[in-house]
Structure 1
Amino acid sequence: MVLVGYWPLDEESGNTAYDVRGNNNGNVSGAIQGETGVVGGSSYHVNGDDGKLVDCGVLAEVHGSDSLSLSVWTKFESISSGFNSSIATHRDNDNGWGFTHNNGNEIRFRMENGATHASTNPATLSTGNWYHIAGVFNRDRSRLWIDGKLAAEPNQINNISVPSIDVPFKIGNNEYTNSGSRYIPLNACEIRVYDHALTPQEVQYLYQVGKRGLHTSDSRTL
């Protein structure tokens, strides 16, 4: 079980969002740094519409895996009627994974390998509030957790693996070759990607750590 990438997004300035796991530093493109995060910490403000995003490169470590988890703290500035706008995704058209915002205030955790999906039903969020969101994919189904509680079960169950795609993992932007980028203005911090399915206890731990303004151990395993 490996923590593939961990981006606290606590830099006050500069062009690099450091991956403290060590291998996937992000390129900061216009994102506003040093904004207030969870419990007084720092965060980035991203909005692909204005070119404000973080490009973390291709996460080849998870390609072909039969499980994956994504954890993020986020706060929506506004919610539009757009479809499949990005919170944090590693996705191109119908291949990839990540959190997406759908019509209204719905979000999903999506896992797609071509026409075959293993995505969740939607859950709802409001603007102006910090949420811990965790998406967990395990072989044939995905689940969405909000603030340590199970918020959405799968709406499609298929036995697929994490697709191997040559596009970057982005925070604040969702690449669609056929229809351009999709985005939503938000703040984000404490982003983690794992090559395994987090247990409910591990999801709860990440939520408790974040809401108390604490940090994980130096081992960076969770």
Structure 2
Amino acid sequence: MVRASVAQLILFIAALSVSTLFVGVIVTETGLYAQSVEEEGERETAAIDAEIEIINDPEAKAVYNETDETVTVYVKNVGGGTLRPDDLEVVLNGELATVAETDVIGGEPWRRNLVLAVTLDHPIEGGKNRALVRIDGSRDLLSFRYAGSLDWSTDGDWSAGTHERTVSDGIGDRDADTVRLGYDAGDSGLVAYWPLDEDSGDTAFDATGANDGRHVNDPTPGQTGLVGTTAYDFDHTQNQHVNVSHSDSLEMSTDDRVSVSTWIKLDEGWGDTVDDAMAIVQKSDASYNLQLVPSSTSPEVQFAIHDGTEYHFATVTLPDDHEGRWVHVSGRFEADTEFSVSADGQTGTADPPSNVRATDDHPLGIGDNIDDSASNRSFAGDIDEVRLFDRALTDDELSDEYLTATNGSHITDWRTTTGDMRADSLQLENVSATLDGENVTAYVESDTTGDGTADEVSDPVALTESSEVYAVEGITADNDRFRLRLEFETGSVTRTPVVSRIELTQE
């Protein structure tokens, strides 16, 4: 059930029980509007007649159900006789509303001092609404404002926000109507991105759309990969790899700048079967090449640049425990400016050459050096999330490439209700999240000045996978403009929490 708040314009009366309820209030689930937005002395209690009163019943939990488009009104019999619920009529916003259900609280018949819950099959709009209740010549009138709720659940809702190491798209194994940890296919300077999320077939699709790769010797897709996606496994002894045909977009010699980012999981004992440098991502021997150099003591990740005359290398040692687990590796180069290689955030640098040699029509290899003159230098293990940029990433951007499998955040767009929501009654509900043992913390941010910045931020709300309703605390001012900030954390690079829906409502 979707619960949305209503705010009474004429009267707000403090009410503790059915027997002490008063005139003129429609309420939400826990008597939200027990305190007036008007001054104390401006309250009115003018029942139109003596037979019935529209009352506030916090125990009965009146709601406006947005899903079913029903309104529940509570009417108290204050006359001397018994009334028939079937005789009651409600005119809502000038239209006779269909009474879907009536229930005498405390049991029939509807005697004096008993309250009748009247459920109306009638939608209401945001803003001011009016309900006229009448029976046997008696009637009572209520004016109220429906503030509504704020819901984030569609691909448009999530994509409209700001992502930091999170995504809302339908690329690979991901769903567009969710938010989760992951890599953005729209990053600046990204010329190719192979998520390697295929489970079958013989094509490694480029998420940027221009440079699909062809399987060679049947690498095995569908392996457990990064942040809830799949990866490819490559058998070194079978020379398995992906061949990406040459294109100008993969040729980095024009501006002499390039960055490569990917994740690798090496087979245990890989160094015993590999005699030469082992390619990860390579544009032939005579261009740029991210590769591994085996060693019995300290194997290295190496980023090689050929300037047309000689090779230049930046190297960094692999972590001691690298076998059998995912390691992030990257290389970057900008002529005469930057030359480095990283493994799990540890960086090695070297003096940058002045250019990258043009490679003519050499293809790009994922998991192998496809240069015809090279020996078998294919990969031994798994590769995932291969990303190629035509620029040198900054230190912060390289850090983001590594930390994407650890944490990230998403800030939604600002949403505005048709009326102020009560700060002391905000809540999150209808939350749909798959945590997979990981964590999502939600914050509600309020823009009271309308300048697009958060003036108030709620206390953290730790989401669960249950159908829980979460009280939102820490917001002090009633307001009509809110957004959500979601913080994602995972203790395993292969998992990510996923959020598909959150609704901001009132009690």
With normalisation by structure 2, the TM-score equals 0.39
Aligned to 2:271: 79
Partner residue, 1:134: 330
Query: In 2, distance between residues paired with 1:193 and 1:157?
Result: 19
- Give the stretch that moved more between structures: 79-88 or 6-15: 79-88
Instruction: Give the aligned residue type for 1:134.
Output: S
Task: Tell me what 1:209 maps to.
Answer: 404
Residues 42-191 of structure 1: matches in 2 within 5 Å? Answer: 42-61=230-249, 62-64=251-253, 65-77=255-267, 78-80=270-272, 81-92=274-285, 95-104=286-295, 105-125=299-319, 126-140=322-336, 141-147=338-344, 149-154=345-350, 156-191=351-386
Cα gap change, 1:63 to 1:164, in 2 (>3 Å)? farther
Q: CA deviation at 1:176?
A: 4.2
Residue number in structure 1 paired with 2:502: none
Give the number of aligned pairs: 211
Q: Please state how far the C-alpha of 1:115 moved relative to its aligned partner.
A: 2.7
For the Cα contact (< 8 Å) 2:302–2:341, is it kept in 1? yes
| Displacement of 1:48 | 4.7
| SS of 1:119 mapped into structure 2 | strand
Deviations 1:136-188 (A, max 9, x none): 111134201222x242111x542113523311111111134334331231101
Q: How far does residue 91 in structure 1 lie from its aligned partner after superposition?
A: 1.1
Identify if the C-alpha distance between structure 1 residues 53 and 111 changes in structure 2 by more than 3 Å, giving closer, same or farther: same
Which whole-Å deviations, capped at 9, do the CAs of 1:84-122 have from their partners, x for residues lacking one?
221111113xx0112111131222011113333332034
Q: Which residue of 1 aligns with 2:209?
A: 22
Cα deviation for residue 16 of structure 1 reads: 1.0
Separation (CA, whole Å) in 2 of partners of 1:179 and 1:25: 23
After superposition, the Cα gap between the structure-2 partners of 1:85 and 1:58, relative to the gap in structure 1 and judged at 3 Å, is same
Aligned 8 A contact 1:120 1:142 in 2: yes
Q: What is the deviation of 1:79?
A: 2.4
**Structure 1: segments with no counterpart, 5+ residues:** 215-222
Cα pair 1:74 1:186 within 8 Å, conserved: yes
Structure 2 residues without counterparts, runs of 5 or longer: 1-187, 407-489, 497-507
In 2, the alpha carbon distance for the partners of 1:45 and 1:90 equals 20
SS in structure 2 at match of 1:207: helix
Letter in 2 for 1:9: L
Deviates more, 1:178-187 or 1:198-207: 178-187
Separation in structure 1 between the aligned mates of residue 247 and residue 305 of structure 2, nearest angstrom: 15
Structure 1 pair 32–124 and aligned structure 2 pair: CA distance change class (3 A): same
Query: Are the aligned partners of 1:117 and 1:157 in contact in 2 as well (CA < 8 Å)?
Result: no
Shift of 1:45: 0.5
- The runs of 4+ residues in structure 1 deviating greater than 4 Å are none
Using the alignment, how far apart are the partners of 1:37 and 1:107 within structure 2? 20
Equivalent position SS for 2:271: coil
Contact 1:59 1:169 in 2 (8 A): no
CA contact (8 A) 2:282 2:290 kept: yes
Distance, in Å, in 2 between the alignment partners of 1:102 and 1:145 is 14
Q: Secondary structure at the match of 1:69?
A: strand
> Which range is displaced more, 108-117 or 156-165?
156-165
1:171 and 1:180 map into 2 onto residues whose CA distance is: 15
Q: For the pair shown, which has the larger CA radius of gyration, 1 or 2?
A: 2
Of structures 1 and 2, the one scoring higher in RCO (CA 8 A, sep 6+) is 1
CA distance in structure 2 between the partners assigned to 1:59 and 1:107 by the alignment: 26
| Identity fraction in percent | 26
Q: Distance in 1 between matches of 2:370 and 2:401?
A: 28
Query: CA contact under 8 A between 2:280 and 2:290: conserved in structure 1?
Result: yes
Q: What corresponds to 2:475 in structure 1?
A: none
On the 8 A contact 2:288/2:356 being kept in 1, the answer is: no
Give the Cα separation in 1 of the matches to 2:324 and 2:375. Answer: 27
**1:5-20 equivalence runs, <5 A:** 5-20=192-207
Residue pair 2:364, 2:370 contacting (<8 A) in 1 also: no
Return the offset for 1:49.
Answer: 3.2
| Amino acid across the alignment from 2:190 | L
